[in-house]
Structure 1
Amino acid sequence: MKAYRIAKRKHKDTAFSGFGARQYGGRWNFPKHRAVYLSESIALAQLEILVNLGEEDSLKDYLLYEIDVPDEQILVLADDAYPKGWNSPRASPRTQAIGTDFLIDGDALALAVRSCVVPQEFNLVLNPEHPEAEAVIDGAVEVRFEFDSRLGA
């Protein structure tokens, strides 16, 4: 599966380290657990950035990466496994527990989870500590990209 990550240029060297998720946590991980968030399309990756943009943030100086995650290394979260309120504006401890358990188990390279922004599409939670992560991350390609100026900031 082709997947996409948009990261600030200043984080170019650590875009696939999972350190931001480790420091702050995310919808699908508790702090202290590394995770790399990807989207199944460039458009979804853009939307995920836009909904998390702060008032002081700019849409300038972002980079886009394309990465190929082997289908056999993706675990898809079953529809009946989503806890109530999984898509609320703030991350819930229940979704964080699901993702953190996945990261700790290490059975697959990535967990496919529905996007809160577009529930019909998927984001991937990539485990950078998985044995196959380094090879997959090394294959990431930077793609020419900039946000359309009509999107704001």
Structure 2
Amino acid sequence: MIVHRVSGNEYKDDLSGGGGLKSEGRWHNRGIPIIYTSESKAVAKKEKQRGPAGKIIPDGFVYVSYEIPDNIEILEITREMLDDIPWDKTPYKGGPTQIIGSDLLAQGEFAVIKVPSVVDDKSYNFIINPNHPDARRITIKDSRTKVE
């Protein structure tokens, strides 16, 4: 499977998840290594823009495409599983998705977790846990395409 993210050119080849150490996200607390990816370049761009209205992505950003081997087990969290919690609300700081995601990353059982996208209600994002041993098998296939 190929998944994508939008990255600054200087971080395009980084598989450490170091961005999660510096800032929080919907599915993790700051201080946890994580790589957020999306099922398509279009959704990755929307995620970077933080919504359909969006903002302009500055020069120097590229699409990074990752290949996740088919035999890596992926935990799937569906929208239906989240029906009883405000998973898609902003601000998300301290919210249920940060708790769920941070706990799953800390447990380290899965290299990849599939979660619903907030910016596209039919799409999913794929969270890569760089601390999982199988994450070493995930490779960057392309990191040269500029975000237009």
* TM class by smaller structure: 0.7 to 0.9
Structure with greater strand percent: 2
Contact 1:38 1:123 in 2 (8 A): yes
Point out the more displaced range, 66-75 or 122-131: 66-75
* Separation in structure 2 between the aligned mates of residue 140 and residue 106 of structure 1, nearest angstrom: 22
Deviation at 1:69, TM superposition (A): 1.5
Structure 2 unaligned blocks of 5 or more: none
Where does residue 39 of structure 1 map in the other structure? 38
Match of 1:117 among 119, 129, 144: 119
* Structure 1 length-normalised TM: 0.82
> Identity of paired residues, percent?
28
* CA distance in 2 between partners of 1:59 and 1:104 (Å): 33
The answer for the alignment partner of 1:145 in structure 2 is: 145
Instruction: Write the deviation string for residues 12-32 of structure 1: whole angstroms up to 9, x where unpaired.
Output: 353x22111122121001112
Shift of 1:58: 4.4
**Aligned to 1:113, what secondary structure does the other structure show?**
strand
Q: For residue 141 of structure 1, what is the amino acid of its counterpart?
A: K
**Mapping of residues 48-127 of structure 1, within 5 Å:** 48-51=47-50, 58-71=57-70, 72-82=72-82, 84-92=85-93, 93-127=95-129
Contact 1:74-1:109 at 8 Å conserved across structures = yes
Q: One-letter code of the match for 1:31?
A: R
Q: What amino acid does structure 2 have at the position aligned with 1:91?
A: Y
One-letter amino acid matched to 2:73: Q
SS at match of 1:34: coil
TM (normalized to structure 2)? 0.85
Is the Cα contact below 8 Å between 1:63 and 1:142 reproduced in 2? no
RMSD between aligned residues = 2.3
Report if aligned partners of 2:61, 2:146 keep a CA contact under 8 Å in 1.
Answer: yes
Q: How far 1:143 moved relative to its partner?
A: 4.3
Q: Which has the higher helix share?
A: 1
Quote the residue 1:151 is aligned against.
Answer: none
**Cα offset, 1:125, TM superposition:** 0.9
